[in-house]
Amino acid sequence: MHVLVTLDQIAALAPCVRVDYSDAFRAGQPLFDRYAISASPLRVAHFMAQVLHESAALTLQYENLNYSAKRLPVVWPSRFQPKGPLDPAQYANNPQKLANEVYGGRMGNEGPDDGYLFRGRGLLQLTGKANYARATAQLRAASPCVPDFCAAPDAVLEPPWCLAVAAAAWHAMECNALADADRLADITKRINGGTDGVPAVRTWLLRTKRSWG
């Protein structure tokens, strides 16, 4: 069984889809098949729910790190005052400084600007130098012409690669099995690292299940 993912279905869910994302989905069926996402409607529904959430209905390329001083302690309570040591006013509306603070020194980020350089990008918001390296290795196993995403991070946004990066990551995190069991919260935690987004993803899932029911 190969469940089809069509541009009409994508447009119905994401009427403002970016052209580059639309181009990726236009040629994307072989990727859904290769990574066994198309093996069932439930897998496609869960994958697309996560993608639609992480990419803001296929309109977002980069992680939005433009936070207000009021919002920073809510998102990172252990880092910013009053519970954490950092003054949120020093990081508010400064995405580069914030990314280097919250992502620096982890997820393979070692250089002083790696946190920002390898901030979230693409359909599932790939984050961290180690994950960019992993994406390169995963895709090169099937095609040696894949660019080095560590050397060219923005390449993960290009139509030939953006859906491939997301599908390969999904498969590597064993999300297909979780989708088979309809375990939304567990999938969200693997994709995002937490479960704060579960209510929003659940709303998307209700819609994607209707599209691929």
pLDDT tens-digit series, residues 58-77:
999 999 999 999 999 999 99
Residues 68, 69, 71, CA angle at the centre, nearest 5°?
65
Q: Does 95 reside within a domain? A: yes
| 199 and 175, same domain (yes or no) | yes
Q: Does 184 reside within a domain? A: yes
Confidence of residue 123 (pLDDT cuts 50, 70, 90): very high
Among the listed residues 158, 193, 148, the one whose alpha carbon sits nearest the alpha carbon of residue 50: 193
Average of per-residue pLDDT across 159-169: 98
Around Cβ 154, how many Cβ atoms within 10 Å?
Answer: 13
Kindly report, residue by residue over 73-104, the tens digit of the pLDDT. Answer: 999 999 999 999 999 999 999 999 999 999 99
φ, ψ dihedrals at 144, nearest 5°: -70, -10
| 50 and 79, same domain (yes or no) | no
- pTM here is 0.96
The helix-helix angle for 41-54 and 162-172 (nearest 10°) equals 120
Q: How many domains in the chain? A: 2
Select from 86, 117, 148 the last residue of a domain: 117
3-state secondary structure 123-186: CCCECCHHHHHHHHHHHHCCCCCCCCCCCCHHHHHCCCCHHHHHHHHHHHCCHHHHHHCCCHHH
Print the domain residue range for 80. 72-117
For the cut 80, the answer to whether the pLDDT of residue 1 exceeds it is: no
Cis? peptide before 82, omega within 30° of 0: yes
Q: Does 200 reside within a domain? A: yes
Query: Residue 121: beta bridge partners?
Result: 62, 126
Amino acid letter at 65? L
Among the listed residues 5, 12, 16, 8, the one whose alpha carbon sits nearest the alpha carbon of residue 166: 5
Cis? peptide before 153, omega within 30° of 0: no
